[in-house]
Amino acid sequence: MAARTVPPDVMQPDSPSAAGAVHAELLILAELAPLGVLDSLEQHRLGRHLREGCAFCDRALDRAWRVLDVLALATPPLSPSPGARERLRVRVALAARTRFPVIGGS
């Protein structure tokens, strides 16, 4: 198999290929977005790009959501490990006390 090479003009910011490289990055963001792994800057960039009307990335985002839906349905549900319910209950109770302290409570 031949090694993939990047055309030299892709790295030049003023070249037409630079816009293609930026779009390729946004396309990857569209494919990753349903996984919830984008940071706020990436979400903002992708959202702006989609609002500008890129149908290609919009379709990629839609396909990614459909793949995730199929994977979710194909994955058997897991039972929590022993003690997980109690650990979760304690964490929720601690978070609730921190956020909503009882006035006059002990």
Q: Which range, of 2-10, 50-58, 82-90, 96-104, touches Zn ion by CB under 5 A? A: 50-58
Dig out the tokens for 43 from the structure: 């979400």
CA 53 vs CA 71, 94, 100: distances in Å: 28, 45, 43
Tell me the number of residues near Zn ion by CB under 5 A. Answer: 3
Closer CB to Zn ion, residue 66 or residue 87? 66
57 binds Zn ion (CB under 5 A): yes
Q: Is 8 exposed, middle or buried (0-12, 13-18, 19+ CB in 10 A)?
A: exposed
Length of the chain: 106
Residues 1-40 vs Zn ion: string with x where CB under 5 A? ----------------------------------------
Q: Which range, of 1-9, 38-46, 52-60, 76-84, touches Zn ion by CB under 5 A? A: 52-60
Closer CB to Zn ion, residue 58 or residue 86? 58
Query: Could you tell me if 29 and 16 are in contact, meaning their C-beta atoms sit under 8 angstroms apart?
Result: no
Please give the residue ranges that form the binding site for Zn ion (CB under 5 A). 54, 56-57
